[in-house]
Structure 1
Amino acid sequence: MDKVGIGIIGLGNISAAYLKASKDFLVLDIRAVADMNPAAAKARADEFGLKAVDLDAIFTDPSIDIILNLTIPKAHVEVGLRAIEAGKHVYSEKPLGIVFAEGKKLVEAAKAKNLRVGSAPDTFLGGSHQTSRRLVDEGALGQLVGGTAYFMCPGHERWHPNPAFYYEAGGGPMLDMGPYYITDLVNLLGPVAKVSGFGTKLRDTRTITSKDRNGEIIPVHVPTHVSGTLVFHNGAVVQVTMSFDVAGHKHVPLEIYGTEASLIVPDPNHFGGQIQLLEKGGEWTDIATDMPYAEGNYRSIGLADMAHAILEGRPHRCNGDLALHVLEVMEAFETSSMSGRVIDITTPAERPAQLGSSLVNGKLA
């Protein structure tokens, strides 16, 4: 099999998940890793048997085709633009950027150079979400009416070793968790047309309770409870709430409603989970997942699909247009909250092609 050279920048918390999952995808050849903290790069390289280099070297290495950008959100666009300038494709952790205008600049710069931008999340490619997509496409729900999307928790300072960035510009529950939910909703329902929303910041500080920094006080600069409504181009209306302020709740992560049936979609932060379908007049029934990548953590599948797409000359699924659309939608919640207006979404986006079995066992079927 032809391989695509990968260079990783940013060796923080999420990098281990990518490095473990990448072993399932034979198309990915990780050539080098780098971080602003050389010690962090060396430690992760030693852990996975890789080569650590300095940041400049990873951009100039001719064997690297795609820069995998795992830096913190406020650095995503800066690093992405540098990769494009160096003639590399770039695949970023979510979100694409923290400001829509900057994310648009990245996508346009890549198109001008005939390079590709990819972005997490790729969890919508998991088996449970692709099975849910198939049910929608087959008309099992009838005419699509709407849905709900909920993520609510007390905040990431409970467990994350360095949680301060979640409460700085570019953080908050919408930019952190919203990409999973909104991307999956676009996968299921198509692009968003309008957004109305409200956001609140009820506390100015947070107290870290995770082990290493327990008791440290950090400031809060962003809304920590965001709620609103998405209107999709197909007419469906979905209620959304993302919060770091809630002790607990009983809502399931995603529900999709149609005239003939309702669908419970598993947590979009995971690849698998139990699907349930309620047909009109019936009862909730468990639906078996019949697509691959439902068992396990495959955080690299979007990157692998992008690598295959480069080799095959086809569109990749976790593409820049999709990520930019999701970023515009998320920013629209704050714009709507501050202005009191319903916000029209300007970016076009297409539902990514269903995955099917094209990457089963990490190679083309």
Structure 2
Amino acid sequence: MEKIKVGIIGTGNISGIYFQNGKRFESMEVVACADLDVARAKAKAEEHGIRGYSVEEMLADPDVQMIINLTIPQAHASVCMQALEAGKHVYVEKPLAVTREEGERVLELANRKGLLVGSAPDTFLGGGIQTAIKLLDDGWIGTPIGATAFMLCGGHETWHPAPEFYYQKGGGPMFDMGPYYLTALVALLGPMTRVSGSTRISFPERTITSQPKFGQQVKVEVPTHVAGIMDFAAGPIGTLLTSFDVKGNTTLPRIEVYGSEGTLLVPDPNGFGGPVSIWRAGSREWSEIPLSHGKVENARGVGAADMARAIQTGRKHRANGDMALHVLEAMQGFHESSDQGKHYIMKSTCERPAPLSLGLADFGLD
């Protein structure tokens, strides 16, 4: 099949891995890039042997069939809408948008236009979480009962060159890292029906200690410590703790899933590989399980490639807009639950994405 021709909008730090991996997938080919800083886009284009554009020029190019949107979170929805209005399929970095309402508008437009929307994270397609999914599906821990997930750190102002947006609307630990954990949990356990949360802003101002903005003050606009509970449609109850307020390393696991016959230790959902371990009923210790799937290196962009394959074949893509909206609604739901002092009932739902087949090459797709 002829490769889907892709244009990247946003040529910041994260674009590097998309350019690199875009050359390795069979379903798509990156042919152009664009940025508000046209000079930066042209420099990236020259580096990778593709065309460099303004955003307007990119969207007007009939050769570009699909956009990968790597702009900042606050621009995700507007750039997605521009791409869809221009008749392009669009795959966006996480989160889908910064509000549920924006995400709904993106999907409504896509449906009206007959176009596909996809969204990172796609790390659940890596060998680590795909192995955990297979163990669950094969009954290694029996019937899932519950899950826990933890993402705790001290914030990004100590290392990121421009950390302000992490503390503005669309930022915070839930919107920054929550997509990895919630997407992994949906891939493992299916959609949620209800969430509840407690949130706080622990430090109203942050001091940047990284370069080049050392010493600048950042006003914190979003909760930086969020504790949530999730009710899954299939029955399990999950807990999720995300924080930018924790000093030092913690000893908590990334994700654990508890079943009627054992416990499953799931690797860090911010990566593609990692160890998978099981403690089965009657055991005396953890057993590490060899990974059943490939894609253990940084395969970022595999979700976009899977969407390109869906464009080619008509099948459903895995890192799809319905799941991204469901995750976005849950993240906003934790905040709203805390603000309103009551459970948040989920309005959206999604399908648990189809597992990858065994035996695929590291950059292959079924």
TM over 0.5: yes
Please give the alpha-carbon distance, in whole angstroms, between the structure 1 residues aligned to 2:265 and 2:134.
14
Q: How many Å apart are 1:50 and its aligned residue?
A: 2.4
CA contact (8 A) 1:146 1:236 kept: yes
| Matching of residues 186-197 of structure 1 within 5 Å | 186-197=186-197
Please give the alpha-carbon distance, in whole angstroms, between the structure 2 residues aligned to 1:84 and 1:327.
20
Please give the alpha-carbon distance, in whole angstroms, between the structure 1 residues aligned to 2:61 and 2:363.
25
1:52 counterpart SS class: strand
CA contact (8 A) 1:90 1:118 kept: yes
1:177 maps to 177
Kindly indicate whether residue 52 of structure 2 is the aligned counterpart of residue 69 of structure 1. Answer: no
| Matching of residues 148-163 of structure 1 within 5 Å | 148-163=148-163
Deviates most, 263-272 or 199-208? 199-208
1:291 maps to 293
| Matching of residues 25-104 of structure 1 within 5 Å | 25-104=25-104
1:144 maps to 144
Amino acid at match of 2:262: A
Deviates most, 270-279 or 205-214? 205-214
Q: Deviations over 1:309-329 (max 9, x none)?
A: 110111000111010000011
2:346 maps to 345
Please give the alpha-carbon distance, in whole angstroms, between the structure 1 residues aligned to 2:365 and 2:349.
29
Deviates most, 274-283 or 25-34? 25-34
Kindly indicate whether residue 225 of structure 2 is the aligned counterpart of residue 258 of structure 1. Answer: no
CA contact (8 A) 2:23 2:30 kept: no
Q: For the aligned residues, what is the CA RMSD? A: 1.2
Kindly indicate whether residue 120 of structure 2 is the aligned counterpart of residue 120 of structure 1. Answer: yes
2:210 maps to 210
1:360 counterpart SS class: coil
Q: How many Å apart are 1:120 and its aligned residue?
A: 0.3
Q: How many Å apart are 1:228 and its aligned residue?
A: 1.4
1:325 maps to 326
Q: How many Å apart are 1:40 and its aligned residue?
A: 2.2
TM-score normalised according to structure 2 size: 0.97
- Cα 1:311–1:357 change in 2 (3 A) is farther
2:307 maps to 306
CA contact (8 A) 1:125 1:355 kept: yes
Q: Deviations over 1:303-358 (max 9, x none)?
A: 00000111011100011101000001110000100001011111121001111258
Q: How many Å apart are 1:43 and its aligned residue?
A: 2.8
Please give the alpha-carbon distance, in whole angstroms, between the structure 2 residues aligned to 1:126 and 1:351.
16
CA contact (8 A) 1:117 1:320 kept: yes
| Matching of residues 261-276 of structure 1 within 5 Å | 261-276=262-277
1:362 counterpart SS class: coil
Deviates most, 253-262 or 214-223? 214-223
CA contact (8 A) 2:191 2:351 kept: yes
1:251 counterpart SS class: coil
- Cα 1:19–1:236 change in 2 (3 A) is same
Amino acid at match of 2:183: T
Paired residues, what number? Answer: 364
- Cα 1:363–1:125 change in 2 (3 A) is closer
Please give the alpha-carbon distance, in whole angstroms, between the structure 1 residues aligned to 2:212 and 2:196.
39
Percent identity, aligned pairs only, is 48
Amino acid at match of 2:286: W
Amino acid at match of 1:23: K
Kindly indicate whether residue 10 of structure 2 is the aligned counterpart of residue 10 of structure 1. Answer: yes
1:110 maps to 110
Please give the alpha-carbon distance, in whole angstroms, between the structure 2 residues aligned to 1:239 and 1:5.
40
TM-score normalised according to structure 1 size: 0.97
Kindly indicate whether residue 22 of structure 2 is the aligned counterpart of residue 22 of structure 1. Answer: yes
Please give the alpha-carbon distance, in whole angstroms, between the structure 1 residues aligned to 2:139 and 2:260.
10
CA contact (8 A) 1:24 1:361 kept: no
1:201 maps to 201
Structure 2, unaligned runs of 5 or more: none
CA contact (8 A) 1:161 1:211 kept: yes
Deviation beyond 3 Å, 4+ runs, structure 1: 361-365
1:305 counterpart SS class: helix
Amino acid at match of 1:183: T
Structure 1, unaligned runs of 5 or more: none
